[in-house]
């Protein structure tokens, strides 16, 4: 790396650190006024509802719903900052076992819904177990969410070798997305579906990208509307000029 490129890299890295610190500070500092707003609106509903007409109560419910959404966004920003700032502890990690744990949690949270998980055995990688678990929570959680309208929901996790690199893939047969929107998926607060269809903050995949990048890996996604999606990622650097496919 030349001196000019190194200086630019260092400058960009410093800007990213400053943005992470800013996001953490804003997210942390906004929690107190949000809690206050939520508390006072709850008091109004519980103790003064009789003095409000139906329209007034609807307005208060909308305030509470938006406070809840803002709180979720603040939590997501803190999680994104943590994914970028926490120390990386690499060790041989059993990805199959972590995925089965996450799948069991998703099933327990929605026991009445039939979802089939097909998790390949023997998937291991050198990486931080806590951060890799967060990757799987977001990817399998997204697949679980976007297959909600499928009576035959199927979520798969497997791997393949690409140019000597282990590439992991999470597949589902859910809602999918327009291929031209794929580049937006990993940006914070970007949503490819209406909130009325599928809830969420739009930060989960940004967290995943941060964690994958910190491991030296790459990530990509493909899909078709109504035909499901595939997210592929690696956790180790590839050869020079390598592109995940």
Question: Does 40 lie in the same domain as 70?
Answer: yes
Of 31, 108, 24, 114, nearest to 67 by C-alpha is 31
What pLDDT is attached to residue 196? 47
> Is 183 a member of any domain?
yes
Lowest mean pLDDT among 70-79, 112-121, 127-136, 143-152: 70-79
18-65 pLDDT tens trace:
656 666 666 667 777 778 888 888 888 888 878 888 888 888 888 888
Task: State the Cα–Cα distance between residues 102 and 80, nearest whole angstrom.
Answer: 19
Average pLDDT over residues 106-129: 94
Strand partners for 170: 157, 231
Question: Does 133 lie in the same domain as 68?
Answer: no
What pLDDT is attached to residue 46? 83
> Is 243 a member of any domain?
no
Question: Does 140 lie in the same domain as 40?
Answer: no
> Is 245 a member of any domain?
no
Lowest mean pLDDT among 45-49, 70-74, 82-86, 182-186: 82-86
147-197 pLDDT tens trace:
999 999 999 999 999 999 999 999 999 998 888 877 777 876 565 554 545
Question: Does 76 lie in the same domain as 19?
Answer: yes
What range does the domain containing 229 cover? Answer: 91-234
Q: Which parts of 86-153 fold into alpha helices (H)?
A: 95-109, 129-146
What whole-number percentage of the chain has pLDDT above 90? 44
What pLDDT is attached to residue 31? 72
> Is 154 a member of any domain?
yes
Q: How far is CA 3 from CA 7, 9, 16, 41, in A?
A: 6, 10, 20, 56
On average, the pLDDT of the chain sits at: 83
> Is 126 a member of any domain?
yes
The CATH code of the domain that includes 136 is: 3.30.565.10
User: Among the three residues 25, 56, 85, which one is the final residue of a domain in this structure?
Assistant: 85
> Is 41 a member of any domain?
yes
Question: Does 154 lie in the same domain as 108?
Answer: yes
User: Among the three residues 69, 85, 101, which one is the final residue of a domain in this structure?
Assistant: 85
User: Among the three residues 38, 55, 85, which one is the final residue of a domain in this structure?
Assistant: 85
């Amino acid at each position: 790396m030349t001196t000019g490129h190194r200086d630019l890299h260092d400058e960009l890295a410093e800007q990213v650190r400053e943005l992470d610190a800013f996001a953490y500070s804003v997210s942390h500092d906004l929690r107190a006024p949000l809690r206050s707003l939520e508390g006072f609106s709850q008091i109004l509903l519980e103790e003064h509802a009789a003095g409000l007409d139906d329209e007034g109560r609807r307005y208060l419910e909308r305030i509470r719903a938006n406070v809840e959404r803002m709180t979720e966004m603040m939590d997501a920003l803190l999680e994104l900052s943590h994914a970028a700032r926490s120390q990386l502890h690499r060790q041989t990690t059993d990805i199959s076992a972590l995925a089965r744990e996450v799948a069991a949690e998703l099933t327990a949270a929605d026991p009445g819904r039939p979802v089939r998980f097909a998790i390949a055995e023997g998937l291991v990688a050198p990486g931080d177990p806590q951060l890799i678990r967060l990757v799987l929570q977001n990817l399998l959680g997204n697949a679980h969410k976007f297959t909600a309208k499928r009576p035959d929901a199927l979520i798969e996790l497997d791997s393949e070798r690409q140019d000597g690199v282990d590439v992991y893939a999470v597949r589902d047969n859910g809602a999918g997305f327009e291929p031209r929107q794929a580049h937006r998926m990993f940006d914070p607060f970007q949503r490819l579906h209406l909130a009325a269809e599928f809830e969420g903050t739009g930060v989960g995949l940004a967290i995943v990208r941060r964690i994958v990048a910190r491991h030296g890996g790459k990530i990509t996604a493909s899909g078709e509307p109504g035909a499901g999606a595939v997210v592929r990622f690696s956790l180790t650097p590839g050869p020079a000029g390598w592109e995940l496919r």
